[in-house]
Structures are given as structure tokens and as C-alpha cells.
Structure 1
């Protein structure tokens, strides 16, 4: 057994910590685009097709965010993004405040264990982030963010069956400048952020940025008379942008992040906590003390189970290192880029899962885990315009290597682990892709592309407490039982699209795209015979959409889609602390997404987003035959073996918001706000986590006394303290969104950062 105690000290670190971002409607508003996103002729430029294009010309359901829009929507960290985008649903993972769950168009993964892969891919500066661990980070100092809905298997690769979140960080500026920001809010939350551009010469530009967040937690622990779910996070980023020659550019960046955020569940003091395991809908408003915990686990594992020795300290601690390098050579007809990345994540946690049916003790079930995850990636990419712009070509070769190691123990009502194991699982992915846009006429463009992926995975396990028989969790026993310990997948993922642009401000498109999500192993089971593999999930998605730009007054984007995901990966709780995934037939989903940005008068910016889904499961013949009432294991059926509603797929989502700038001499006051309305949904499999719909309000007001240099803000997120269910295991172990927060903030810009 390997034990690693947390020894990280509160040292000062410069830089930026950034991961996944998602977006609301992209606008053509001059002010917002000039402030935040790279623009040309007042049209936002995106890289949704791995090359720079006007968003108006991209035949993909895509949303893009500017930093000002992030402020309007109260998006401060990545989890806040689920309250903005059509057909995006998510939450913190259970107990892990630094890991986010994303479901897009009904496809996602709520398991953070490394033998399960997400369905919504995350890219930062073109580097793929393979693991869910550590993706809930403070967000600032970005260039732009893009969210691509629907499978992106051709240009972005595996594990994007739901879509991809593409983040472009801010590069060093050509002028000296920066900003400093400080805020204070509810739960004694203190946030410090800053960034500075340091141009060293005409050819060398340098950037340093960093952040620090600390709060006292929002869950009342009545046993210890203290709050938990507190968070301390800090990190830093450095970046250097070098023009080696007029045609050769090298951009290098690195960041380090430490985040101790947790998401321990609490008991709802307004409900009967021993009500059994049946589904119950729970919603309402947070009171002064609404959710409580009686856990003594913060005192240490030996306080709960005398004699037990822990691997990790209480809570969840994630530390990550990220480096990236992009060497680009520009030619007359295009460019060649060599993109390399390295990511290392350490995720250690000691957390409890209350089980109300066993009485008032919150520490019946405890998980103790230390994990190390490494990934290396390299990509050679070509972008070019050929044959007098008849063909725009994107092609490349991609390589990814993952090395994951988890030392994992679980305790159930006693000092002896119910399971204790070390798991290693590695992935090697080699792919080649090519996509071309063919200008058939001045108004009609055809897109055709394909990606070939050859992926190998392996799984190894050793039991830290063997009993000497075939039940031991060992690789040897898996082999003896005929369970594969290696997987190999060879997949073609094509894309076809046709777009019609009668003029520069109007575009229609139709597309068909394939994607796939990798298979894996059921690593949380208790016996060697249960360590079964599951296969890959494949999806075809068909879309028809339009983009209409009526200048600064109005822009609209609308997409209708139909998708069919076969061999759907669905996980379910099959016993206490045991979760298994199987390939459960199909997910069929038909939907609509509409986004609009409206500026009816000067200084008034309004936006609206609508997401509609009609999702349903279609069970496999094997699952239908295996389901026997009362069902407790087959994921897509309820207890009576009736098909359930797909989880995290609400029928309707609406976001409305806006801001208004009031000029008073040289000063400006800008009220802003948004409301997110979501219909009822299922949060778990087997129908055990039904959640009522909700409306979430964010609001704020900015005051700039003299131009953009200094800004004071007062704001609230979840302003009316609305509580709603985000996850449930069906045994009373329920998870809610975070309560409302208020914040006062001051931001000072200087030098080239002052607009």
C-alpha cells in the first residue's frame, strides 16, 4: 500500500489556472468583442474547425463567450457554466469539488475514476484534457471560449460524443499592462486575481498571472460545530510568445494549480432522513442552516474507525501541472503547427457518503483514495488554402499517452476496508485526420472529413488485502476468469456538411457527424469476476441550422438535431459504493437550440438561449431480458422494468439576461443579470433521482468612476438561494447545488489592458 499525506504549503505562486469553459450566444457587438475575443471586422473569430474562421461561417452548433459575458452570467469557475448554455447540464462530482460532471445533449459521464471516460471533451490551447479530475478552476484572463455541441470526432477525436469545450487562453500583450482584482463575499470568501503583460522586445512577449481563493465552507457540521465544504485554491501561469522569425512563432505556457475544494453531501433537515430508498423529489430554498452533517471524519479516519490507517487527509486535494508548446511556421498557402502538451494531476481524497437508512451516522461509508494521472500529447497540424481558395484543408497526426494510477480503499461500518486495491490503466492513442471545405460556388460550400483512431488500453490491479482465492482483485485472477485486461479500438469518425450563404450575414447548413467514446473497465466492484470491461460508445448526429446577423441590433443562431448513440455507456449503483457501467442499448435524442443577442438601443445588450430535448432510451435485448422486477441493477429501467427518462436531459432550458450601461459624465453604472430556468429531470439511473425544475437568478451592478481603468462591482449568484437536486444514489444520499453567494469586488486595469 502506498500512502501519501498532503504536505503542500501556502506558498505564493504566480499565474493562471484555467480549464473548461462554455459559452452563451456569441455576439457581433463591437464593444464586447474588442474587449475580449480576437475579432476581425467586428466579427468574432473562432477555431471550432481547428483553424481561424468567422463564427458566421462555421457549420457547427457553436457558442462563444467573451469575458464580459462571463461576468454578466456570474461565471467565476467552470461549474458555473452549466447555468448558461442550451442543453448543457452538470454539477460538481459527488464529494469532489474540483471535478465537474458535464452532460451535453444527454451524453456525459458522472464517474471521475480513470477507467471511465467523459463524453464532453475539454481542450485548452488545443491540448486535450483526458481526465475529469481538476477541471473546476477559477476562470479569468481568457481570450475566448467555445462550446461545440454534438460529436466532434473528426477534428477533436475521441470522447467528444456530447461535444467539446474549447478554451483559448489570453496570450501576452504587445504593451505593458495588466490588472489586479480583489473580492470578498458570503462564507468569508476572499479572492485575489491578477495578470501582467511584460513585452521584452518587439519579438518576445511575456505574461504572468495568478489567483487565490479561500472560503470557510457552506455545509454545517453539527457534530464538530464547524463548517465544511470549504475551499482553498491557488495557482499561477506563465506564458511566453516568441516571433523567432517573421514566419516562425513559438508559444509556450505552463501553469500549476492547487485546489482543496470538496462537495460533501449534507442531510436535509426538512426531510425524514430515514425514509428509505425510494425516489423523492426535493427542492426549495436554503435557510440559515438547511443542510447539516454529523460526520467526525474531519478528525481523521482513525477517529471514525479506530485502528484504520488512511492514505489521504480529509477532504479532496487536487494538484495539477500543465505545460504546452505550439511551434507554428507560416507559409504562403497555410501553416504547419507542432503542438505538444504535458499534464500531471494528483487527486487525493478522504470523504464520506452518508446513508440515512442506517441511522444518523454520516460516516457509515468512507472512501480513501490517492490518484496520480499523467498524459503526454503531440500533434502535427496543417492548415492551408489551396487552388485559389477552392479548398480549405485541415489535416494532422495526433498522439496521446496516458498513465493512470489509483490506490483506493472503501470502508463500510468498520475499520477493515471492504475493498483496498491499486489500479493502473494506461492508454495509447494514435490518430490521423483530414477535413476539407470545398467552395463549390460563391455561396455553397461542402465539407468532408474523416479521422482514423487506433487506441490501445490496458488494465492492471493488485489487492492490498488478499484472502488467497479467486475473489482476490488481481490481474492473475482476471486472466484465470477469462476477463480481458487489454482493449484495442480502431474507429473511423467522418463528418459531412453542406452550407449555403446567400450573403455575408446569412448562413444555412446541414451536417452528419460520427463520434465515439472509449471503453473501459468496471473498477469499483468487490470481486474479481465483476471486473468486466465495457465497450466503446458510438454516435451519429444529424443537424440543420442557421446563423443570421443583422448587424449590431440582432444576431440569431438556431440548430435542430437528431442523434443516435449506440452501445450507450450508462453507470448505475448496484450496491453500497459499487458502481458498474454497461453498454445499454441506445440513446435517441431530438432537440432544438436557439441563441439570440439583441441590442435594441445603444448601451442595452440582451440575450436569450433556448434548449429543447426529447430524449429516450432504447434498451438492448440483453438488458430487456435481464431486467426482472424488482430491478436494482439494469440501468435504463426502473424498479418495475419500465424504461426511464434519460438522466440529466431536461425537456426545456431557458436563459435570459442582459446588461445596460448608464453614462453619467465620465462615470458609468452597469446593472446586469440573468435567469436560468430548467424543467424537471432525472439525475440518476433506474429512476431513483428525480429532480424538480428550478429557476436560478444571478445579478450584479458595476460602477466605473472614470473609464475602464477602475471597476467596483456588487453581485450575487443564485441570488434567491434556490436549492435543487443535482445527484442522487437513490438511498437518501442526495447532492444539491451550492447555496447563494454575494460578492463585492474591485478591479484595477493598467497599461495596455485599459480599453
Structure 2
């Protein structure tokens, strides 16, 4: 057994050192442009990547540069400038402008994780031994775990959201689609910026970047960020508020018996990138990044006692469990992360109420133009993460269920691609891919009401190998035929360890050293036909497949729950139209799709026979469904300075088979799958005249209909539909090197939930994660 998680997940440095280091890094980065001179203008023009003409966005979804409007796929692409104009700084923020995309922060016991769904397909448990259903990529490197995937949008060139299965080029686990983040490359032009922000809940944030030349063919870009923001949920000490209740007091009566907050952020992050052009036909890029988070616990609370008869037990130490502890509709919680009543025979203890994460990685890529018609690209990456997340799972001062969850893991990946052009009308891509990932789960689980008290120390090792090919043939200039094929072979090995908490040495019978083994493979393919009606209109149709790997239940409570489950698969028919009209002032893209989604992997609370049915927390193949829908995206500039964007999406998710889950019915919907989503955004640049610069007001409104957060849909895990609005007012000076921005999120101060945990069956309770209330922030930015 490894060291207890309390010590194993201690912060690596204190808050004062974090902030001192981050402020120093910001100062150094802001000054970096002066450290070396930029290339001469003619050199810079030759050595730098040029931006897309006329505001067009260049994407690389098919592993070659293409205009977004020429790419026969359903893609939402956003530039770094667009993200900044909307005030978006987290991966979860981009969902509003991407049709049929749902992204939420994986809070509670998962810590720094991401819940990602595209077209009704994804993964709502962000524990690292669960395979994602939406692939996440940073600079073409696949991120194997949703733990640690809630990336800060720092210094990005663009984001590409690919909807529909991407099994041919992206590979496994991009069943619903893929999210690809691309960082700005060093240019050596002496540019940079420094930005500071202050806002609600004592938000203090700083960002800076510098781009400079080391030599005439070697450039460096450094960017850093630091943020500290108090939580918007107040944790109250119930014993302090109610001295006669029988609960010990955790804090004194000062400050309203406040024990802490939940939902706050505190992190530092940095990235350094080196770009070297040793020859005209060779480009080498090396980068490293690091993020340290010391956040509040997740913003969760006991929303309601939904079934008093199911609350177990009815009293703890003579104190009844009832609706007095429910705080739904407010931004307060009685969670104390303690067992101060020494209930369950484990003795009194408290967890550190801090979500911690240390995430870092290094990667390198080499691009070589072998000739005018052939090029090769090699990408190598190593990434590591360590997270710690306490969870007061009952949301009360009564210790019914407390979890202390730690994960640490790493991954190594290597990809090699060959691109070629034959006879001026035939393009091809050949590639090979290798991934090895390791995850250790180091946890304390105290589910007191059913007497499940144990430490676990589980290891999961995965390997994946793949080869792929894609060919694009243009029999005539307007007609493009694409065919793709990929073969994937994967292995997963699990080792489970369980020991009792009373001495941390007695193994739980049958689960100490038990192993699980999975071996699988898959063929995926894609066929696409597109036709250029004219220079401004393109139509396309395609059929594509994808899969999510199978495995072994990674959260067994009993030996017979170490059961296997198979891969899930999808085949999707899709058709679309892309139009650029009115001299490119109007862009209108649309797509319709129909999917056959089989052997769907979801977490059910009842394990399949012959294993012990409950409690259960493992994935299984619950059934199959047909999914159909449509997506519309619009971008317009009706007059100079006025930009409008809008989306509309509909999704119909219909099960046609259910397997071994008696509580599920065919009329239920997949988790985090609203039937309707829409967005509208507009901004207008207003010149002030007299050398006063310009102001740009912007408004963004998003809507989604109701959804469910659990495969077994009930009224207790239904999130009502909502409309949210954000606003931003930006002033730029005439030289556009000073900027002042005021932003307000959740403009109408709407109270809503982003997630529910429906525990009605076992605890008679529902736990909710409220979204943040209205918040404001003021930023000052200096660009060099």
C-alpha cells in the first residue's frame, strides 16, 4: 500500500510561492520582446506563418491546410481573437457557440476534469480509467484522460470542434467528435502582451506572452498566466450556526460561521515553445507546458432530500438526516469534509478541502518537405498529471459518505505521417500511431451507511497501436472523392488493491491483487463526396465510423464486479452545405446526420448479472440507439464593423435496445443531451473620433433545452432548459496597443444547475452543482 493520500497529494509549493513565481514570470515574459531583435521584415515574411486572407480560417482537420469552407466536414472553428472577444478562457466555454456540443466542468470527486458530449455521445464520468467519447487534442497530441483535460485557453491560434465520428484520422474515442486546440507558433517578431484583470469574488488574474528571436532561424514564445478567485458557494459550519444541534463547531461565529468557499480557482500556468528552421524544407517545434491548480472543492451541495424513506440510516449519533441540510436554490452548503462524529468506527478525521492538480507535458514535432509533392511529419509527446479531490458526497455535516480521490498518470505517444500528391489530382495521407498510458487511482472511500470503508490503489495500463490511410481524388476539378481506413489494436491491464482503513494492511478478500485484462481491435472507415457548385457553394455527403474501446470495470466493490465490457461503435450518414455569399460577408453552413450507435457504454447503478448488482459504479454496454439531427451555423458582416454569429441545432436520441438495465426504458435520453441548442452573438466596432480610438460592445446569448445527467432519466436528474447571456465592452486606443475591457457573465443573474447527482435510490438525496451567478471583470491589456 502506498503512502496515504493526504501526504501523497500535498501541494508541491505554497500559495505565496505560486504567486511570487507567477508574477515574476509575467514580468519576464512582458519584457521578453526586448531581449532579442526580430528578423528583418523580408525575413519575417518568409519565416512566419501567414494568417488566412479576408478573415478566412484555415483548419487542418484532414491533416493538411484547408479553408474552413472547403473542408467537407461539420466543423466549428474559432480563432484566438474570437475567443478573446467573447471572454472565453476555458475549454468548457466554447460549447455555447458549437452546435450539438455540451461541455461541463467535471466537479466533485473528479477534480480537474471535463464532461464532453457531441451529438449525444461522450462520457460524463471524468475518472481517468473511463474512456472519453470525445477526443481532445492539443497541437495534434491526443489527451488520453478526461482528468486534467479542462485546459485553460492560453495563447491559442485557433480551436477546431469536429462533429461526428472521426475514427479514421483522429482514431479511437472520437466517437462523437473531436476538440482540437492549436497554439500560436513562435514568429520571432518581438511581439507580446501583458494583461491584468480584477473582478467579482476578488478575482485577480494576470497573463503575458513574449515572442522573440534567438537567431535568424530560431524563435521562442513564452506565455504565462495566474489566477485567484474566491468561490461563489459559501460553506457554512452547521454546528456554529446551531450550537444546540449536537454537532461540534469547526469555526467560530465570526464572519457568519463561514468555514470556506466552493467553486473558486487558484492556478498558475505557463508554456514555452521553440521553433527552429534549420533548412528551407525543415521545421522543428518543441514545447513544454505546466499547470498547477489549488482550487476550492467543487461547487456542489445537497439540493434536496427527494425520498426520506431511502435515507440510510435515519439518524447518525442521534441526529436525524432530513431536509434542514438541503440548500438548493442558494449558494450555500453545509459540507465540512469531516467525520467529526467518529461515525463508522474509523475515528474522527477531516480531509483537506482543496482540489489540487499538477499537469505538465513536453512535445516535439518535425516537419520535412521531401519534395514539392511529398512531406513527412513526426510528433512525439509525453504528458503527466497528478490530481487530488476531496468529496463530501452527502453535502451535510453528517458523515454518510466521504471520498478522497487521487489520480496520477502519464502517457507517451508517437505519430508519423506521410502526405503526398500524385498527378495533380490525387492526395494521400499514410500514418502510424502509438500510445501508452498509465493511471494509478489512490483513494479513500468511506461509504458509511453501507459499511464500505477501504483504501484502493489501482493501476491501469493501456496501449494502442494504429495505422491509417486517406486518399482524396478529384476526377474533375469540382468533384472531390475521399476514402479513409484505420486499424486499431489495443490492450488494457488492470490491477486492483483494496485494504481496510483501520490498519491499512488487511486486504479485502478477493479484491487484493485481482487483475482484469482486455484485448481488442477495430477497423474504421470513411467515404466522402463533395462538389463545388461554384466558388461560393460546396455540398458534401459522407459515411463515417468510430469506436470507443472496451475494457474492465475499473470501480469494483466486489470481486465478481470485475466484469468485462465491449467497445461501443457508431456509423453516421451526414450531408451538408457550406456557403460564402455576398462577397464573403455571409457564411452559412448546415449539416444533417443520422447515426446507428450500438453497444453504448454508460455507467449504471446496477451491475449486470451474474455480478453482485448493487452498489455498482462501473461502465457497461447498456443498449443501442438511433441519433438524428441538424446543425446550422451563420456568420455575417452586414456592414463594416458589425459582426453577427448564430447557431441552431436539434438532436433526437432514440434507444431501440436496452441490455440488462431494468431501470432504463426506450424513451429515455442519453446524459447531457439537450434536444435543442441555439446561440446568438453580435458586436459592433464604433470609432470614437478625435484620436480617442474605438469601443466595441458585444453580446452573447446561448440557449439549451432540458437534459438529464444520468442514463436512468428521472425528475431528480433533469436539468431545466436555460438561456444565459454574457456581455463585453472593449475600448481600443488608435494604435490598438492598449485595451480596456469590461465583461459581465450570466448577465441576468440566472440561478441554474450545470449537473445533478441523483442518489435517490441509495441516499434519498439529490446533489446539485449550481452554475456561477452574475460576475463582472475589468481587464487592461498592453500589446507590444
TM bracket, shorter-chain basis:
0.7 to 0.9
| Structure 1 stretch displaced more, 253-262 or 574-583 | 574-583
Partner of residue 707 from structure 1, selected from 715, 718, 735: 735
Residue 351 in structure 1 maps to residue 391 in structure 2? yes
Residue 546 in structure 1 maps to residue 559 in structure 2? no
Give runs of aligned pairs for residues 387-536 of structure 1, distance below 5 A.
387-388=423-424, 390-413=425-448, 418-465=453-500, 471-476=509-514, 485-536=516-567
CA–CA separation in structure 2 for the residues paired with 1:328 and 1:311: 52
CA–CA separation in structure 1 for the residues paired with 2:749 and 2:271: 34
- Deviation string, structure 1 residues 365-404 (Cα, Å, up to 9, x no partner): 111122111100001111122212x111111111101111
Asked whether the equivalents of residues 218 and 276 of structure 2 are also in contact (C-alpha less than 8 Å), the reply is yes
Give runs of aligned pairs for residues 678-689 of structure 1, distance below 5 A.
678-688=704-714, 689=717
How far off is 1:647 after superposition?
2.1
CA–CA separation in structure 2 for the residues paired with 1:312 and 1:428: 34
Matched residue SS, 2:638: coil
Matched residue SS, 2:617: strand
Aligned partner of 2:138 in structure 1 is 124
Aligned partner of 2:212 in structure 1 is 198
Aligned partner of 1:25 in structure 2 is none
CA–CA separation in structure 1 for the residues paired with 2:698 and 2:328: 27
- Deviation string, structure 1 residues 622-646 (Cα, Å, up to 9, x no partner): 43xx62xxx3xxxx33xxxx63122
Residue 86 in structure 1 maps to residue 86 in structure 2? no
Asked whether the equivalents of residues 631 and 648 of structure 2 are also in contact (C-alpha less than 8 Å), the reply is yes
Asked whether the equivalents of residues 97 and 262 of structure 1 are also in contact (C-alpha less than 8 Å), the reply is no
Give runs of aligned pairs for residues 213-252 of structure 1, distance below 5 A.
213-223=227-237, 224=251, 225=258, 226-252=260-286
Asked whether the equivalents of residues 353 and 362 of structure 1 are also in contact (C-alpha less than 8 Å), the reply is no
In structure 2, the CA distance between the partners of 1:275 and 1:601, relative to structure 1 (3 Å rule), is farther
Aligned partner of 1:675 in structure 2 is 701
Residue 329 in structure 1 maps to residue 368 in structure 2? yes
Partner of residue 314 from structure 1, selected from 335, 340, 353: 353
In structure 2, the CA distance between the partners of 1:275 and 1:93, relative to structure 1 (3 Å rule), is farther
Partner of residue 123 from structure 2, selected from 109, 120, 131: 109
Partner of residue 254 from structure 1, selected from 288, 291, 294: 288
| Structure 1 stretch displaced more, 597-606 or 409-418 | 409-418
Matched residue SS, 1:244: strand
Partner of residue 365 from structure 1, selected from 380, 396, 401: 401
More helix by share: 2
Partner of residue 559 from structure 1, selected from 581, 585, 591: 591
In structure 2, the CA distance between the partners of 1:576 and 1:208, relative to structure 1 (3 Å rule), is farther
In structure 2, the CA distance between the partners of 1:362 and 1:443, relative to structure 1 (3 Å rule), is farther
Give the number of the structure whose alpha-carbon radius of gyration is greater: 2
CA–CA separation in structure 2 for the residues paired with 1:428 and 1:717: 42
- Deviation string, structure 1 residues 253-276 (Cα, Å, up to 9, x no partner): 00010112345344468x667767
CA–CA separation in structure 2 for the residues paired with 1:393 and 1:718: 47
- Deviation string, structure 1 residues 414-449 (Cα, Å, up to 9, x no partner): 898623211111111111000011011111010001
Asked whether the equivalents of residues 265 and 733 of structure 1 are also in contact (C-alpha less than 8 Å), the reply is no
- Deviation string, structure 1 residues 589-626 (Cα, Å, up to 9, x no partner): 10101000011111000010111111112224x43xx6
CA–CA separation in structure 1 for the residues paired with 2:9 and 2:543: 50
How far off is 1:307 after superposition?
5.5
CA-based RMSD of the aligned residues comes to 2.7
CA–CA separation in structure 1 for the residues paired with 2:420 and 2:351: 50
Residue 658 in structure 1 maps to residue 682 in structure 2? yes
How far off is 1:566 after superposition?
0.6
Q: Considering Cα pairs closer than 8 Å and 6+ residues apart, tell me whether 1 or 2 has the greater RCO.
A: 1
Asked whether the equivalents of residues 100 and 118 of structure 2 are also in contact (C-alpha less than 8 Å), the reply is yes
Give runs of aligned pairs for residues 157-168 of structure 1, distance below 5 A.
157-168=171-182
How far off is 1:727 after superposition?
2.3
How far off is 1:334 after superposition?
2.6
In structure 2, the CA distance between the partners of 1:328 and 1:134, relative to structure 1 (3 Å rule), is same
Partner of residue 113 from structure 2, selected from 82, 95, 99: 99
Which TM-score applies when normalising by structure 2? 0.84
How far off is 1:707 after superposition?
2.8
In structure 2, the CA distance between the partners of 1:137 and 1:82, relative to structure 1 (3 Å rule), is same
Asked whether the equivalents of residues 542 and 563 of structure 1 are also in contact (C-alpha less than 8 Å), the reply is yes
Matched residue SS, 1:56: helix
Residue 8 in structure 1 maps to residue 12 in structure 2? yes
Structure 2: which 5+ runs fail to align? 28-47, 238-250, 252-257, 312-326, 607-612, 760-765
CA–CA separation in structure 2 for the residues paired with 1:579 and 1:361: 24
- Deviation string, structure 1 residues 122-162 (Cα, Å, up to 9, x no partner): 11111000111112232131111100000101001000001
Which TM-score applies when normalising by structure 1? 0.87
CA–CA separation in structure 2 for the residues paired with 1:495 and 1:288: 47
In structure 2, the CA distance between the partners of 1:70 and 1:303, relative to structure 1 (3 Å rule), is farther
Asked whether the equivalents of residues 36 and 67 of structure 1 are also in contact (C-alpha less than 8 Å), the reply is no
In structure 2, the CA distance between the partners of 1:669 and 1:470, relative to structure 1 (3 Å rule), is closer
CA–CA separation in structure 2 for the residues paired with 1:276 and 1:607: 50
| Structure 1 stretch displaced more, 35-44 or 156-165 | 35-44
How far off is 1:67 after superposition?
2.2
- Deviation string, structure 1 residues 501-558 (Cα, Å, up to 9, x no partner): 0222210000000100011222223111112121111100110001101133200110
In structure 2, the CA distance between the partners of 1:65 and 1:147, relative to structure 1 (3 Å rule), is same
- Deviation string, structure 1 residues 680-711 (Cα, Å, up to 9, x no partner): 11121211311111000010100113331011
How far off is 1:327 after superposition?
0.8
How far off is 1:199 after superposition?
1.1
CA–CA separation in structure 1 for the residues paired with 2:297 and 2:382: 28
